[in-house]
Amino acid sequence: MNLHKYLNEKKNIIEDALKKIIYSNTDTPKIYESMNYSLFAGGKRLRPIITIMACELFDGNINEVIPFACCLELIHTYSLIHDDLPAMDNDDFRRGKLTNHKIFGDGFAILAGDALLNKSYEILFSLIHNSDNKEYKKAAFKISEASGVLGMIGGQALDLFYENKEIPIDKLIEMHDKKTGALIKASLETGAIIAKADEKDIKLMGDFGHLIGRAFQIMDDVLDEKGTLKKLGKNIGRDSINKKATYVKHFGLEQSEKNAFDLIFEAKKLIRVYGNKSKLLADLAEYIVKRDS
């Protein structure tokens, strides 16, 4: 199966699963509407799809991994809602639509993000509570760690702290690895864990995720400089306006793109040990640096 067909097929599976997870079962005003607005705003579903990819690589059960994959997407979506807030990146558009707070106000945007994050933990705790499967506990811990101060939130904190400041290159790399890379790394590790892969394979998936996650964020920096509103679905040049610390600011466009391609080359080398079974992962890695949105 080619990558494009695979992405569409798995995206549909994730969409259906998410619709079953997020539905209004109370008369609480606006909150479910706000949650659904951002959750179904047209995302790529990259994180849950690579979770499935890693699970399939080790012959795992897709149905077993889907709840974990959905948790990763809920966490990712919450982070985007909060990132767009005036106190953070102050963005007006996301995926070609007005950002959540522009439609529902800051208060409901904050609550929607909180609710999506909390829902992910409700699902994880339910999975653990209803099973003695040790892999469930391990996967839940990986996801939790990658979402917190040691991962995504830590990266966002660095991003906020270094606005309008000079950032050491090691801190810039740490920021990117945490802000974007941590959740991508955890997605691949989670897929391998649920498939009961060996520890060496779980580590290799993590190393692969680390490399493609960094490349993904570098390309985000690049696209913020040379992308278009039509393709990106959000205003470009926001990093410069907000005086953000980026790879492009440090290395320039050409060198930043080269760095991203070098990372993908190294990532693809890592998974050669799996032969033809890793072709989709290798194609996905290429997609990360060749995308235009």
pLDDT at 235: 58
pLDDT at 29: 87
pTM to 2 decimal places: 0.94
What is the domain partition of the chain in residue ranges? 3-290
Residue-wise pLDDT tens digits, 97-149? 999 999 999 999 999 999 999 999 999 999 999 999 999 999 999 999 999 99
Residue-wise pLDDT tens digits, 53-73? 999 999 999 999 999 999 999
Fold of 3-290: Farnesyl Diphosphate Synthase (1.10.600)
- List per-residue pLDDT tens for the chain, 293 residues long: 799 999 999 999 999 999 999 877 777 889 999 999 999 998 899 999 999 999 999 999 999 999 999 999 999 999 999 999 999 999 999 988 999 999 999 999 999 999 999 999 999 999 999 999 999 999 999 999 999 999 999 999 999 999 888 899 999 999 999 999 999 999 999 999 999 999 999 999 999 999 999 999 999 889 888 765 555 555 565 666 667 788 888 899 899 999 999 999 999 999 999 999 999 999 999 999 988 77
Alpha-carbon gap, residue 171 to 162, rounded angstroms: 9
Sign of CA dihedral 7, 148, 35, 82: negative
- 17 burial via Cβ count (<10 Å: 0-12, 13-18, 19+): middle
